[in-house]
Amino acid sequence: MIKLPLVLLFTAMTALSWGVYGILLHEGTDRLGHSSLRAFIGVGIAYFLIAVLVPAIWLGSKSEKGHWSVYGTILSLLAGTVGALGALGVTLAVAFKGDPIYVMPIVFGGAPVVNTLVTSWINKSFSQIKPLFLLGLVLVALGAVGVLINKPKPSKPVAANVKPVAADAKAATEDVKSVDEAKVEVKENSNPFAIGASILLAVVCWGAYGPVLHIGQTKMGGSRLRPFCCVGIAYFIIAVAVPVMILMGSPDDGFELGWWDVAPGMMWSIFAGAAGALGAMGIILAFNYGGKPVFVMPLVFGFAPVVNTFTSMTVKGTLSQITPYFIGALLIGIVGAVTVLVFAPKAKPHGPAPTTPPTTPPTTPPTTPPSITPAST
């Protein structure tokens, strides 16, 4: 039975956690000399601590409902794998010179669509998708795109009223030429095909994450900690073991920061991983109280970018620069999220169990006592 208030509470927990994930990870990446691979290791360490060690200790000392199953374990590991690969896709898209102003809107807008298609395919409920649900899905995507595109930009510092005087016209012309050449070089260094492939990886993986995790949890008898532990193991393998092997294979990668410079960046990255792990736990709890991926995940992907934008504006002090377009996009996303929640397709109902008529014992004719004839004298 669904407990809607708890479902919404834990859905909001995920949206808040994943909303601040990017900000924390960006800070960690900057402090690590823009080494996204090392920041990704910090994320994996946090997942290992929160999603592997803590559940393992809890399960070792206390009992929890549910049970381990081979199929549930495999699916939960698969869910953690696609979640980690989705995060890697976003990281690669930015590393290939993709501008976050369009990378994140595409990811947050496309992932709910993939989630709906995967969930409907699993539940065989394509026939129950209503036009209003599709409209809500489109509104969620448009709202996420509008919020991220129209978010206020930090104001540029006003230069003093002093006109720069070039040493000579030739020097000024050379300066402009060098700037133009640098812009052309940056543009040429971008790889549109690699950016598109990375975005597609993130959209498909994050879209499939919720449905796969939901099935894994179901196959474990509704357990909360067991699938969470599997997600943490998958993150540790992909975000810690693999990057460490890559870095060990290329020790001379130009990374020259000392330990005291690395520690703050790694801590920020671990904070980002902690936010991601808490968001994963929020999804599991939402499922545990009856939430379905078909409306839980669109709500998460609808509100997470809003949280990200408001948090970013608060940090940068740009809340006063909110525009009507931003407010309109925010309202569109909220209306779409409510529409998705109300008109979400239900799982195809199973037919009632066949009833067999009660069996009655065969009737036998009543027996009459044998007639007694008096003996003849």
| Reported confidence tier of residue 156, pLDDT bands at 50, 70, 90 | low
Mean pLDDT confidence for 345-357: 53
Q: What pLDDT score was predicted for residue 155?
A: 60
- 127-154 tens-digit pLDDT: 788 888 888 888 888 887 787 677 776 6
**Is 213 inside a domain boundary?**
yes
Q: Are the CB atoms for 315 and 23 separated by under 8 Å?
A: yes
- 213-243 tens-digit pLDDT: 999 999 999 898 999 999 999 999 998 999 8
**Is 136 inside a domain boundary?**
no
**Is 176 inside a domain boundary?**
yes
**Is 67 inside a domain boundary?**
yes
Q: Are the CB atoms for 231 and 279 separated by under 8 Å?
A: no
Q: What pLDDT score was predicted for residue 261?
A: 66
Mean pLDDT confidence for 14-34: 85
| Domains in the chain, number | 1
Lowest model confidence (mean pLDDT) among 13-27, 191-205, 239-253, 344-358: 344-358
Name every residue whose Cβ is closer than 8 Å to that of residue 365 and which is 6 or more positions away in sequence.
none
Q: What is the dihedral of CA 164, 170, 176, 180, to 10 degrees?
A: -170
Mean pLDDT confidence for 24-30: 83
| Residue span of the structural domain in which 97 resides | 4-125+168-249+258-296
**Nearest by Cα to 340 from 122, 129, 148, 121:** 129
Q: What pLDDT score was predicted for residue 69?
A: 94
**Is 75 inside a domain boundary?**
yes
| Reported confidence tier of residue 81, pLDDT bands at 50, 70, 90 | very high
**Is 336 inside a domain boundary?**
no
How much is the pTM? 0.72
Quick check: 265 pLDDT over 70? yes
| Reported confidence tier of residue 187, pLDDT bands at 50, 70, 90 | very low
Q: What pLDDT score was predicted for residue 186?
A: 45
**Is 345 inside a domain boundary?**
no
**Is 19 inside a domain boundary?**
yes
Q: Which of 76-80, 131-135, 290-294 has the highest mean pLDDT?
A: 76-80
Q: What pLDDT score was predicted for residue 256?
A: 60
> What is d(CA 139, CA 340) in angstroms, rounded to the nearest whole number?
9
